[in-house]
């Protein structure tokens, strides 16, 4: 369902499975590369895992997982030179209807229902702050430092609600969210309602809504090199490149990824080079080389992004 490379150790890759398991592979091995699986974890995921996020440093390695069962789980990954990695579940959160305002347009009919998560992104400046997108269209600001009372869920760990703010929702499932690496309060969302939305974490309403195509938008990601550039992928097989310095309305490039207009589900910028990759429904991965204008930071770009963020308060 999803994979995520370790940010420091490129040989380690974590994957989330349809059956709710977490798998870790060591790609430096020539055989038996599967080194860890979260089997028989009582409080683990029991539905598909839709997103994984690493939080790693020289002292610790944490892996956070999001599932369609509404759970957000924090795992400690113990690494040893002489033993295979070990996964230990240390903290759990769950998204439930009881923490969504009753008058919210996307509030579930059942206050006790768990809400399936489809997308998740963590702040680059505050590792406790993250945003979750849901199958119902909900967009939620969350925190791993939640002080909410424990919910009546869990066997060995206590589950809490991580929700601190409910944003205005999409009109369809949210398939991707991404925090800006250049501004702590900005994040993007992509949805099957055909829109890309730009939010300020401190405001419930998106301050910019883009409607690039008449169809689903599956992926969206900020450029790690250009603070005003981001890319998106669509159900009609397109790769869209936006440059907010040139246009606040439409993409500066629209590239057909395949000739059959097959959906493009995933996108990833390479932080070490001027390339990005796309993956489509045919199982094809393509690597695209960006021009210097789209991969080299421009003078005054960060200040312009700050002005764009400030406009969200107007």
Q: Which tens digit of pLDDT belongs to each residue from 162-206?
A: 999 999 999 999 999 999 999 999 999 999 999 999 999 999 999
The mean pLDDT of 286-290, rounded to a whole number, is: 92
Burial class (CB in 10 A: 0-12, 13-18, 19+), 76: middle
Look at the block and give the residue holding tokens 């309403």. Answer: 205
The mean pLDDT of 102-128, rounded to a whole number, is: 89
- Strands of the 49-56 sheet, one edge to the other: 49-56, 61-67, 71-78, 86-94, 159-160
Which among 55, 100, 95, 41 is positioned nearest to 71, based on CA atoms?
95
CA distance 52 to 38: 14
CA distance 134 to 3: 19
CA distance 280 to 161: 34
Q: Out of 47-51, 108-112, 129-133, 207-211, which region has the weakest mean confidence (pLDDT)?
A: 108-112
Strand pairing class (163-166; 238-243): unpaired
Is the model's pLDDT at 155 over the cut of 80?
Answer: no
134 backbone dihedrals φ, ψ, rounded to 5°: -120, 160
Q: Pull the structure tokens for residue 85.
A: 């990695």
pLDDT computed for residue 279 by the predictor: 92
Is the model's pLDDT at 227 over the cut of 80?
Answer: yes
Q: Pull the structure tokens for residue 88.
A: 């230990």
Q: Are 63 and 49 in contact (CB under 8 A)?
A: no
pLDDT computed for residue 134 by the predictor: 95
| Of residues 213 and 18, more confidently modeled | 18
Handedness of CA 286, 292, 296, 302 (dihedral sign): negative
The mean pLDDT of 63-91, rounded to a whole number, is: 90
Q: Out of 1-5, 19-23, 140-144, 147-151, which region has the weakest mean confidence (pLDDT)?
A: 147-151
pLDDT computed for residue 221 by the predictor: 96
| Of residues 249 and 187, more confidently modeled | 187
Strand pairing class (196-200; 208-210): antiparallel
pLDDT computed for residue 91 by the predictor: 92
Which among 303, 302, 310 is positioned nearest to 200, based on CA atoms?
310
Which among 156, 161, 155 is positioned nearest to 143, based on CA atoms?
161
pLDDT computed for residue 157 by the predictor: 85
pLDDT computed for residue 136 by the predictor: 92
pLDDT computed for residue 198 by the predictor: 96
Mean model confidence pLDDT for the chain: 90
pLDDT computed for residue 33 by the predictor: 85
Which among 6, 13, 14 is positioned nearest to 56, based on CA atoms?
6
pLDDT computed for residue 146 by the predictor: 87
pLDDT computed for residue 30 by the predictor: 81
Bridge partners of 29, per DSSP, are none
Q: Where are the beta strands (DSSP E) in 6-70?
A: 12-16, 22-26, 34-37, 49-56, 61-67
Is the model's pLDDT at 304 over the cut of 80?
Answer: yes
DSSP string, 137-174: S-EEEEETT--PPPPS--SSS-EE--EEEEPPPPSS-E
Look at the block and give the residue holding tokens 């002489």. Answer: 82
CA distance 120 to 66: 7
Q: How confident is the model at residue 85 (pLDDT cuts 50, 70, 90)?
A: confident
Q: Out of 29-43, 46-60, 265-279, which region has the weakest mean confidence (pLDDT)?
A: 29-43
Q: How confident is the model at residue 104 (pLDDT cuts 50, 70, 90)?
A: confident
Which among 287, 311, 282 is positioned nearest to 239, based on CA atoms?
287
Q: Are 119 and 167 in contact (CB under 8 A)?
A: no
């Amino acid at each position: 369902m999803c994979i995520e490379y370790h940010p420091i150790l490129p040989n380690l890759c974590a994957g989330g499975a349809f059956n709710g398991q977490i798998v870790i592979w060591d790609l430096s091995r020539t055989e038996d590369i599967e080194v860890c699986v979260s089997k028989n974890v009582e409080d683990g995921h029991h539905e598909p895992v839709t997103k994984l996020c690493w939080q790693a440093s020289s002292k610790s390695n944490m892996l956070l997982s999001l599932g369609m069962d509404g759970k957000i789980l924090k795992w400690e990954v113990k690494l040893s030179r002489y033993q295979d990695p070990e996964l230990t579940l240390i903290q759990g959160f769950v998204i439930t209807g009881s923490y969504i305002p009753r008058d919210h347009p996307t509030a579930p009919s059942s206050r006790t229902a768990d809400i399936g998560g489809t997308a998740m992104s963590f702040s680059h400046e505050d590792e406790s702050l993250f945003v979750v997108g849901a199958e119902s269209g909900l967009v939620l600001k969350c925190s791993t430092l939640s002080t909410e009372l424990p919910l009546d869920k869990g066997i060995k760990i206590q589950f809490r609600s991580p929700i601190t703010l409910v944003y205005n929702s999409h009109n369809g499932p949210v398939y991707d969210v991404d925090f800006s690496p250049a501004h702590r309060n900005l994040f993007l969302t992509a949805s099957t309602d055909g829109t890309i939305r730009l939010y300020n974490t401190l405001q419930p309403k998106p301050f910019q809504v883009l409607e690039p195509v008449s169809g689903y938008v599956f992926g969206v990601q900020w450029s790690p090199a250009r603070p005003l550039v981001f890319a998106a992928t669509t159900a009609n097989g397109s790769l869209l490149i936006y440059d907010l310095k040139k246009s606040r309305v439409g993409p500066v490039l629209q590239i057909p990824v395949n000739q059959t207009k097959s959906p493009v589900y995933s996108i990833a910028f390479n932080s070490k080079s001027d390339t990005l990759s796309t993956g489509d429904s045919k199982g094809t991965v393509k690597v695209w080389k960006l021009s210097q204008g789209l991969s080299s930071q421009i003078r005054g770009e960060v200040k312009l992004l700050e002005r764009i963020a400030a406009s969200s308060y107007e």
